[in-house]
Amino acid sequence: MKNTIGRHRIFRFSEKLGAIEQSSGSSLLKLPYRGVLSLAFAIYPIPSHIIIIRKESERRYNMYYSYAEQHRQDSPRVMTANGEASLLVKPDIVSIQLEVMTENKSLSQAQQENAYKMNRVIQSLLQAGIPGENIQTSAYNITPKYDYIDGKQVFRGYEVTNTITVKMKDIDQTGRIIDLAVNNGVNHVSNIQFTIDNQQEIYQQALSNALKNALAKAQTIANTLNVNLDAAPIKVVEKSSEPPHTFQTFTAAESTGTTPIEPGQIMIRASVEAQFRY
């Protein structure tokens, strides 16, 4: 007799061996027998559909353990789609760093000269209508400077730099404010940044559009495969956002007219990865 039948397991009781044998491939697994067949049931729980066949001639019992026929449910099928979206907006806030640098062999003299020029710059900005709370000191440095003559280090003096950050909403006046600051003592302008006041709100719009884009891609794939798509994603991962555009650093120089500054437009981008059942 074969040890296996289809997807059944075979248990065989042998009084001669005093054990219950389970066929497994080409080997037999022997279970101790204590005189009652039900002991095997405790070790191998057997449901009601077990078939027990008795053959008197061989005085052994063959039990065919049949696995319950289960209706196989396919694991959920999932597709992943990436969505992207971007919005172009006009900036409404500008931030500028204005620096006054002075140098002198006397540290106190370099500091006094620097303070005089920076105070003049700040007063000119206040008179131009920029609120005091929008003017903030962002850096103050004192650096000894040296020259190298015939391979020797020669002290030249002290360099003092005072940097302020100016924010304003009237971005059309950016060039005029830069010129005003330069005329009153600023000799280095850097890190001009254009941003938007409601950036988070606009980013949320881009994020919503990115998710719609991912859904549209998933729907296209589902239509191509001729399958039904569950439009509610089971997982959404936010991937990236676009930082505000930053102008390159430049050094102020004399100009016959107003310094041209073009804010352009800021692109706010959003990207997501979404998973859908189908």
Q: CATH no. for residue 111?
A: 3.30.70.2970
- 32 shares a domain with 109: no
What is the three-class DSSP state of 203?
A: helix
More confident site: 132 or 244: 132
Nearest partner of 32 among 24, 46, 42, 21, judged by Cα: 21
In whole angstroms, give the CA distance from residue 60 to residue 33.
13
Predicted confidence at residue 243, as pLDDT, reads 64
- 181 shares a domain with 101: yes
Beta-carbon-side half-sphere exposure of residue 26 (alpha carbons within 13 Å): 0
Average pLDDT value for the chain: 77
- 127 shares a domain with 37: no
In whole angstroms, give the CA distance from residue 200 to residue 95.
18
- 99 shares a domain with 62: no
- With respect to residue 237, please indicate whether it lies within any of the assigned structural domains: no
Predicted confidence at residue 108, as pLDDT, reads 95
Question: Residue 56 belongs to what domain range?
Answer: 8-66
Domain end (from 144, 175, 195):
195
φ and ψ at residue 115, rounded to 5 degrees: -65, -40
* Cβ neighbours for 162, distance < 8 A, ≥ 6 positions apart: 99, 100, 114, 115, 118, 137, 139, 140
- With respect to residue 178, please indicate whether it lies within any of the assigned structural domains: yes
Contact between 101 and 42 under an 8 Å Cβ cutoff? The reply is: no
Domain end (from 149, 177, 195):
195
Q: What's the pLDDT band for 4 if we cut at 50, 70, 90? A: very low
Which tens digits make up the pLDDT trace of 157-172? 999 999 999 999 998 8
- With respect to residue 86, please indicate whether it lies within any of the assigned structural domains: no
- With respect to residue 122, please indicate whether it lies within any of the assigned structural domains: yes
Note every long-range contact of 200-206, with CB atoms under 8 Å and residues 24 or more positions apart, other chains counting.
Answer: 202/87, 202/89, 202/268, 203/241, 203/268, 203/270, 205/87, 206/85, 206/86, 206/87, 206/268, 206/269, 206/270
- With respect to residue 209, please indicate whether it lies within any of the assigned structural domains: no
- 182 shares a domain with 128: yes
Instruction: Over range 109-124, report the average pLDDT.
Output: 97
- With respect to residue 229, please indicate whether it lies within any of the assigned structural domains: no
Q: Which residues of 227-263 are buried (b: 16+ CB within 10 A; e: fewer)?
A: eebeeebeeeeeeeebeeeebeeeebeeeeeebebeb
- With respect to residue 274, please indicate whether it lies within any of the assigned structural domains: no
Predicted confidence at residue 75, as pLDDT, reads 66
Neighbours of 193 (CB within 10 A): 17
Q: What's the pLDDT band for 133 if we cut at 50, 70, 90? A: very high
Predicted confidence at residue 160, as pLDDT, reads 97
Pairing between β-strand 78-89 and β-strand 19-24 as defined by DSSP bridges: unpaired
Identify the sign of the CA torsion 200, 203, 208, 210: negative
CA terminus-to-terminus distance, the chain? 47
Predicted confidence at residue 122, as pLDDT, reads 97
pTM: 0.59
Contact between 173 and 134 under an 8 Å Cβ cutoff? The reply is: no
- With respect to residue 158, please indicate whether it lies within any of the assigned structural domains: yes
Predicted confidence at residue 42, as pLDDT, reads 40
DSSP state of 48: T
Rg of the chain in Å (alpha carbons): 41
Predicted confidence at residue 78, as pLDDT, reads 94
Which tens digits make up the pLDDT trace of 15-69? 444 444 444 444 444 444 444 444 344 444 444 444 444 444 444 444 444 443 4
Tally the domains of the chain.
Answer: 2
